[in-house]
Structure 1
Amino acid sequence: MTDDQFRNRQMTVRVLDLCDECKTLREGVEARSCKSYWPSWSLSLASCEPCWESAKRTAAAEAEGLIIC
């Protein structure tokens, strides 16, 4: 690779944010919120998609009085 090719190469940037739930740096961390009216519960946090789905299931189960093992 010549100097000109090196200077004109495409740069790649990845943005990693801290997930509040798993405490790791990941792509796709967003501030998310969800509200359910029956049973009544609400949830808002900054998390990655897998942690968000897990937190939603846990919040819904706790609102219904269920225990998740």
Structure 2
Amino acid sequence: MNSSFPLDCVDGEVVTTYNQLALRGVEKKGTVSVQAPSGVRWSMTIGRGEPASLDDSGDPVSP
């Protein structure tokens, strides 16, 4: 399965984006990649398990 989340990067702007997928076959190996211009700084967290709880705004709720 392929999924993508295209985002527009704005110079000098800090943005947090949260995406969550429910996929079958998560016990199999997978690959994640990021394509961004050289001046863009980014970070990523990837997890497997039960979907995170979300608050009313759609942001993850800390356990």
Place the TM-score, normalised by the shorter chain, in its bin: under 0.3
Given the two structures, how large is their TM-score scaled by the length of structure 2?
A: 0.20
Using the size of structure 1 for normalisation, the TM-score is 0.19
Considering fraction of residues, name the structure with more helix. Answer: 1
* Larger-gyration structure (1/2): 1
More relative contact order, 1 or 2 (CA 8 Å, 6+ apart): 2
